[in-house]
Every structure is written in C-alpha cells, then in structure tokens.
C-alpha cells in the first residue's frame, strides 16, 4: 500500500476455509487491480479461475469482511513492518 490515502475492502465470505490458512498459504496466486469487469470476464473465458475480491477505498484501512470483519490501520502496520 505505497499510495497515500488509499485502502482496500476485501470480501472473503466466498471462502469457506479457515481465513488464516487462506491468507497465509504458500500456493501461487496473483492479485490484479482493474477498472471494470472486462478483465474478469476475459480471464474466465480463457479458463483462468478469477474472482473479484475487493475494492479500493479512500480510507487508509485494510478491511476483511466475511464471517467476521477485521480492520487494520495500514500506516500503523507499515510502521511496525519497517522497524
């Protein structure tokens, strides 16, 4: 999250597994930021499993919404990470 004034809201409700296992697994995956659903449609047409999981926000918070909701202050976490 290098861009100031930007956060993300992620919907994890479609995953039924343990959220910790999903977020911290070592399986390869890619997160793409696109402007509309055309990229998602194209990926699916090409046989690539793709799903929309979130949206960019103007709040400097990472929010995970699902069976439970979690919010993380991005700047506070970045300060901790870069110590």
Per-residue confidence (pLDDT) for residue 50, from 0 to 100: 87
Does residue 63 register a pLDDT over 80? yes
> What tens digit of pLDDT does each residue of 9-20 get?
999 888 777 777
The reported pLDDT for the residue numbered 79 is: 87
Measured in degrees and rounded to the nearest 5, phi and psi for residue 8 equal -145, 145
Q: Is 66:20 a contact under the CB 8 Å cutoff?
A: no
Q: Could you give the CA distance from residue 40 to residue 36 in angstroms, rounded to a whole number? A: 8
Tell me the pLDDT of the chain averaged across its residues: 87
């Amino acid at each position: 999250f290098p861009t100031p004034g930007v956060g993300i809201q992620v919907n994890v409700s479609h995953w039924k597994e343990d959220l910790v296992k999903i977020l911290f697994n070592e399986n390869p995956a890619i997160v793409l930021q696109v402007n509309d659903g055309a990229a998602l449609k194209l990926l699916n047409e090409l046989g690539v499993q793709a799903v929309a999981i979130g949206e960019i926000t103007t709040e400097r918070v990472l929010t995970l919404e699902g069976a439970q909701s979690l919010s993380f202050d991005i700047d506070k976490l970045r300060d901790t990470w870069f110590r």
